[in-house]
A and B are shown apart, each in its own frame.
Chain A
């Protein structure tokens, strides 16, 4: 087993997921199968294969630092469930 109960509980906390205790074994098994499957990749001999990051030659893209037309504030905030004084408002996540 690559995945321990502690791993699962840690991932659950990070993902804000509540996993019922009676389902822990099921998810540990599923995560383990996924990670074990990824081991298949190590069967490939990549000794002489040049790494490919992109199919096209890529380089940094620069532009002049100029002010351009952009969304006005009202349009940018139109989808916000909560807003105040022209800002997005989100629930507090940090303690004082």
Chain B
């Protein structure tokens, strides 16, 4: 099994136990990009040199015996509607072809405090308006399981990269399904946090009263850990919730027996696809 196939929490333990280095891991994911990115096309920008420099810095820290945080040294990528200081943020649109944000989105500031390896920016439907990632102004992204199929959208690059192993984790954004639907299409875990849980500062708006940034990961353990990093109130987003942020990993229990799933009764209307909600 290659390193790119493993979830972040397993890779974190391997880094801590010095079984691998962040450079080895990052090189393996970059090699995977070289192998399959031509078919999947999940990325709009790949920051290869910066990624390797970040990985090297983490390895030096580990060599000195310093403690590392959950995402430290683990390569991931960011949907291209989340502002990244000094790295192009196009929203997959030609209108923002040359836009280099002079500041980081709050989620980027929070992530960077953890020293992850950032591989680049991910494809999407232009300005997040779409559900297939065919509506990118640059190129469509393909579903890694079958490149004849769409990966879903609008966070199609976020879901396809994690599914293809060209990123260990990613961030997407969800207004009306844009994380959950592509995660489902690509067989990975995607979460839309409750509105207000994650700051929208630096996220290029689609529907401001609905947009949320959320993680796309290989399993729920990674998802909970990344939500822990990005959640919380932010003075820069007046709609972010002041509610206390629990440790989401506490919800990682052995089984989900007795769990109730609620569906609004308004979903059960004329025209609903048979079997879509009534299982």
Q: Taking CB as reference atom, which chain B residue is nearest A62?
A: B238
What residues on B are CB-neighbors of A54 within 8 Å?
195, 209
Query: Are A71 and B102 in contact (CB-based, < 8 A)?
Result: yes
> Are B239 and A58 within 8 A (Cβ)?
yes
Given contacts A58-B239, A79-B100, contact A44 B266 (CB under 8 A): yes
Instruction: Tell me how many residue pairs across A and B have CB atoms closer than 8 Å.
Output: 29
Please tell me if the beta carbons of B238 and A61 are within 8 angstroms of each other in the complex: yes
Cβ-closest 8 pairs across A and B: A61-B238, A75-B102, A56-B196, A55-B195, A78-B102, A71-B102, A79-B99, A56-B241
Chain A positions within 8 Å of B270 at CB level: 43
Tell me which residues from 67 to 96 in chain A have a Cβ below 8 Å from any Cβ of chain B. 71, 75-76, 78-79
CB proximity of B97 to chain A, nearest CB, Å: 11
Whole-angstrom distance between the alpha carbons of A78 and B209 in the complex? 29
B87 to chain A minimum Cβ distance, whole angstroms, is 13
Residues of A within 8 A of B99 (CB): 79
Instruction: Please report the C-alpha to C-alpha distance between residue A67 and residue B150 in the assembled complex, in whole angstroms.
Output: 48
- In angstroms, Cα B99 to Cα A68, docked, is 25
A78 CB, min distance to chain B CBs, angstroms = 6
> Nearest CB to that of A78 among chain B residues?
B102
What's the tally of chain B residues with a CB closer than 8 Å to chain A?
A: 18
B194: chain A residues within 8 A (beta carbon): 55-56
Residue among B98, B99, B100, B102 with the most chain A CB within 10 A? B102
**Contact status B100-A63, CB under 8 Å:** no
A-contact 0/1 string along B235-254, CB 8 Å cutoff: 10011010100000000000
In the bound complex, do residue A78 and residue B100 qualify as a contact, i.e. CB atoms below 8 Å apart?
yes
B103 within 8 A of A: yes
- Distance, CA A63 to CA B209, complexed state (A): 21
Among residues 214 to 243 in chain B, which have CB atoms less than 8 Å away from a CB atom of chain A? Answer: 235, 238-239, 241, 243
List the A side residues contacting B243 at CB < 8 Å.
Answer: 56
A71's partner among B103, B209, B238, B239 (CB-CB below 8 A) is B103
Within 8 A of A (CB), among B246-279: 266, 269-271
